[in-house]
Structure 1
Amino acid sequence: MSGPGRRDVPLMRNYGNSLRGSRIAVAVTIGILLGCVFAVLFPHGFFGSDPPIQGRRITKSNVQVGSSPCESSERINMLKSEVVTVSEKNAGLKKQVQELTKKLRLAEQAKEDAENQIWALGEQHKAGPFGTVKGLRTNPTFLPDESVNPRLAKLLEKVAVRKELIVALANSNVKDMLEVWFTSIKKVGIPNYLVVALDDEIENLCKLNDVPVYKRDPDEGIDSIAKMGGNHAVSGLKFHILREFLQLGYSILLSDVDIVYLQNPFDYLYRDSDVESMSDGHNNMTAYGYNDVFDEPTMGWARYAHTMRIWVYNSGFFYIRPTSPSIELLDRVADRLSRKPDSWDQAVFNEELFFPSHPGYEGLHASRRTMDFYLFMNSKVLFKTVRKDSNLSKLMPVIVHLNYHPDKLPRMKAVVEFYVNGKQGALKPFPDGSN
């Protein structure tokens, strides 16, 4: 039993292997056939993919090959030309932007300057408690502009002290008074003063006496007034001439020549206003202002009208700072005097300073201060009051202006005798007023 069973086993193994090998061969054959069928039916793949890469490469290659070297060169040149055109446009736009930026910067600078003018009056702050708020009236000064008059600018650099000086205009008509004027200045020891000579005679006089002098360049519109004009004509001329001094950045103490100097006036200035002027007033009321009541009985209950009054500033002696309102004042007065030469410069000067804005008129927004009338004394105060008062006569004024009297030269000499040489009776021979 065992023998025949062991012989049958090898035959079965051979048969199984043969059968398995036949199946594999059949499967391989079927796979190959199916692959061929699919390759024929679906040449681009079973899932519909993009065209072969080879085809795309050929297409691009065909396009590139289709462009000749000449066409490529023309295309490049055209592109270069377009680049140049665009670059030129960009350059033009850039220039316009720079110009606009410059204009914007200038506008911003102007705005900043205006803001500085405003904020220069004080820091921005809230109102303080009752009684503590004080207004500021010191306007900022202009920046110097030496291009206005380079020759005068060089002279002022030598003469002025801390950008301040006394200035007087003179022609040969006031030669004798001018000598008393600059002699008193020298006696006091005031270094910063200047004579604006309106003719050759005054220029030579100043040079012979070592007096700082400035002779203006010829000006047909002014020379006739300067050389032949009387006191009022020359007085009106000063408003035109002073403008250059302010533009150059200097504060000016304008002085007529009928003035005797007894102390240095720069030691007594406040410098807190655009204009600081001596008064034609002769006491506290007239010099500093008062409430004057006007009576009109026909008005019954409202018969009394209160008015504010002040005696005028003297246009022959005032301190003026180089500010915007100051220059506007000079321009206004000079313009009015040029249109109406017969006008009195002192009246016009005060009208421009004090008249308020009203319909049809824009007032001048200038700050002003009245000088102490005992220190900056007019001749009415001296001859009507001071010389008759034992206490007031002991007071040493800064200046005495002989503005109220026509006999100016002898009174100027008498003032020198009284205050400088100590001659007590020097003022007695003169009447209070003019004969």
Structure 2
Amino acid sequence: MSGRTAPLMRGGGPSAAWSRGSRIVVAVGIGVLVGCVFAFLYPDGLFGPAPPAPRPGAISSKISSSQCESSERVNMLKSDLAALSEKNAELKKQVRDLNMKLQLAEQGKDQAEKQVLVLGLNHKAGPFGTVKSLRTSPLIAPDESVNPRLAKLLEGVAIRKELIVALANSNVREMLEVWYQNIKKVGIPNYLVVALDDEIEKLCKSNDVPVYRRNPDEGIDSIAKTGGNHAVSGLKFRILREFLQLGYSILLSDVDIVYLQNPFDHLYRDSDVESMSDGHSNMTAYGYNDVFDEPSMGWARYAHTMRIWVYNSGFFFIRPTIPSIELLDRVAGRLMTEPKSWDQAVFNEELFFPSHPGYDGLHASKRTMDMYLFMNSKVLFKTVRKDGNLSKLKPVIVHVNYHPDKLPRMKAVVEYYVNGNKDALKNFPDGSD
């Protein structure tokens, strides 16, 4: 007995039992309180009710709705992209227009201001006989955005930003072949043919001749493919503009020309335009004082006139300057509005006519080429071939511009100057039959 009751006696009797009971009551109370709190905060249970399982039809409906929304979203994005592209094109056009207005504003400055910009500060005139005026206009800043494809081509063809350019269609195929064959013989690397139809483009490519085919242009292509010499000749003033805008100096060449030396070794490059002459003597080529006699005027019967034979619009060197581009614009503009006019006459009128009431003349500097180096066919057949001393000279080029039988005379020039056949020119008349 005493062994089994001993622990009870050690527990402290009735007071110890009360202490344990009170602790149990407190624990139960705390549990009830915590339960009430959770019941208040989470009425649907701690983890919430399980979501209902979706029906198979609902799933497909949801997928279809999602696809529809995605398709509509794509269409909206495409519409936005189209609107942005249109807006971008409009902004680009505005930028081009603003650039053009800026260029026009810059060009509109007084010519004296341009000279000051070139020469720097104003200078006093020097001693007598030492004063030299400005003859060479400043080059324009190249603008490759005008024609990136042509700009890339010219980089590989031009030398020191200079090259020979000729326009050709199938009507002049045989003359073009003589033209580029002799350019190759002379060893001139910087030349280019602007092909006006497919046949000329294929011909040049098959003969390793640098060629450029313009982008389609209905206003030009109709003339280029079917036009005669004069019609095609008028196109060059419009086509050359891009070359100048890209910053290149162009030696414009017709195809009825035989090259015997490299012309770039004989240019002065001190003027906007450097052209061969249709003159046949020192007077006619370089100018002279022609006295006009009118007897009815008595004492004032004699009037002095300054005369010069026209520049040849089929062979001239033109630099990328503002006056040069204005010249091309003026000539091309008149040829468009005056379809019966001759491009060479218009070319010279714009170059030489001075400013007068109702007309602003072109302020372009010009130089006449040496008529024995850059020879027209009148000089050759009327004078040079009959003169023992002149016949020994070797011209840079011979332009068969005065005679309609161009191809046989071109071949004769090659025989005479290249192959050494001194009888090659004898059978041709001075003029045309």
**Match for 1:219: what amino acid?**
D
In the TM superposition, what are the counterparts of 1:132-143 in structure 2 within 5 Å?
A: 132-143=130-141
Match for residue 35 of structure 1?
none
Distance (whole Å) between structure 2 residues aligned to residue 310 and residue 116 of structure 1? 29
Task: Please tell me the residue identity of whatever aligns with 1:152.
Answer: L
SS at 1:317's partner residue? strand
Q: Is there any run of 5+ residues in structure 2 with no aligned partner, and where? A: 1-104
Q: Conserved in 2, the CA contact under 8 Å of 1:236 and 1:337?
A: yes
Q: CA deviation at 1:121?
A: 4.4
Q: RMSD of the alignment, in Å?
A: 2.0
- State the Cα distance separating 1:120 from its structure 2 match: 1.4
Q: 1:118 to 1:226 in 2, by over 3 A?
A: farther
Local SS of the residue matching 1:165: strand
**Other structure's SS at 2:317 match:** strand
Q: Structure 2 matches for 1:136-285, cutoff 5 A?
A: 136-285=134-283
1:339 aligned residue: 337
Q: Shift of the alpha carbon at 1:111?
A: 8.1
Q: CA deviation at 1:124?
A: 3.1
CA distance in 2, matches of 1:431, 1:258: 18
Spell out, residue by residue over 1:77-96, the C-alpha distance to the aligned partner (whole angstroms, 9 max, x if none): xxxxxxxxxxxxxxxxxxxx
* Structure 1 portions without partners, runs of 5+: 1-106
> How far apart are 1:177 and its partner, in Å?
0.1
**Residue of structure 2 equivalent to 1:400:** 398
Distance in 2 (CA, whole Å) between partners of 1:430 and 1:241 is 35
CA distance 1:272–1:123, shift in 2 (3 Å): farther
Deviation string, structure 1 residues 256-275 (Cα, Å, up to 9, x no partner): 00000000000000000000
* Alignment counterpart, residue 124 of structure 2, candidates 123, 126, 129: 126
- Contact 1:275/1:321 (<8 A) preserved: yes
Counterpart-to-counterpart distance in 2, 1:121 and 1:187: 42
The answer (yes or no) to whether the contact 1:203–1:215 under 8 Å persists in 2 is yes
CA 1:203 to 1:117, structure 2 compared with 1: closer, same or farther past 3 Å? farther
Paired with 1:276 and 1:160, the residues of 2 have a C-alpha distance of 19
CA deviation after TM superposition for structure 1 residue 130, in Å: 1.0
| Aligned equivalents of 2:386, 2:400: Cα separation in 1 | 17
Which whole-Å CA distance do the structure 2 matches of 1:407 and 1:181 have between them?
15
Shift of residue 122 of structure 1? 6.4
Partner amino acid for 1:429? N
- The residue matched to 1:120 in structure 2 has which SS? helix
Kept in 2, the 8 Å contact 1:121–1:137? The answer is no
Q: Any conservation in 2 of the 1:121–1:138 contact (CA below 8 Å)?
A: no
Q: Percent identity?
A: 85
Change (3 A) 1:399 1:273: same
Contact 1:121 1:139 in 2 (8 A): no
Cα distance in 1 for residues equivalent to 2:405 and 2:312: 18
SS of residue in 2 equivalent to 1:187:
helix
Residues 77-156 of structure 1 mapped to structure 2, 5 A cutoff: 115=113, 118-121=116-119, 124-156=122-154
Aligned length: 330
Change over 3 Å in CA distance of 1:121–1:196 after alignment to 2:
farther
Deviation at 1:382, TM superposition (A): 0.2
Q: Give the equivalent residue in structure 2 for 1:314.
A: 312
Report the 3-state secondary structure (helix = DSSP H, G, I; strand = E; otherwise coil) of the residue aligned with 2:325. helix
- Tell me the alpha carbon deviations over residues 197-256 of structure 1, each in whole angstroms, 9 at most, x when there is no partner: 000000000001000000000001111000000000000000000000000000000000
Query: What is the CA-CA distance between 1:360 and the residue it aligns to?
Result: 0.4
> 1:14-93 to 2 correspondence within 5 Å?
none
Conserved 8 A contact 1:379-1:402: yes
Amino acid of the structure 2 residue aligned with 1:402: V
Distance between the aligned counterparts of 2:396 and 2:120, measured in 1?
32
Task: Give, in angstroms, the shift of residue 355 of structure 1.
Answer: 0.2
Secondary structure class of the residue paired with 1:162? coil
Verify the 8 A CA contact 2:116 2:122 in the aligned structure 1: no
Secondary structure at 1:292's aligned position in 2?
strand
Sort the Cα spacing of 1:113 and 1:184 in 2 relative to 1 into closer, same or farther, 3 A: same
Deviation at 1:125, TM superposition (A): 1.7
How far the C-alpha of 1:372 sits from its partner, in A, is 0.2
Report the Cα distance in structure 2 between the residues aligned to 1:321 and 1:150, rounded to whole angstroms.
20
TM-score, length-scaled by structure 1 = 0.74
Which of 358, 365, 380 pairs up with 1:360? 358
Give TM-score, length-normalised by structure 2.
Answer: 0.74
Summarize deviations over 1:58-100 as a string: whole Å, max 9, x none: xxxxxxxxxxxxxxxxxxxxxxxxxxxxxxxxxxxxxxxxxxx
- Once the two structures are superposed, residues 158-199 of structure 1 have per-residue CA deviations (whole angstroms, 9 ceiling, x without a partner) of 000000000000000000000000001000000000000000
Residue 121 of structure 1 contacts residue 140 of structure 1 at CA under 8 Å; is this kept in 2?
Answer: no
Which of 336, 349, 352 does residue 351 from structure 1 map onto? 349
Q: Distance in 2 between matches of 1:363 and 1:422?
A: 47
Distance 1:123 1:279, change over 3 A: farther
For residue 140 of structure 1, report the CA deviation from its aligned partner. Answer: 0.4
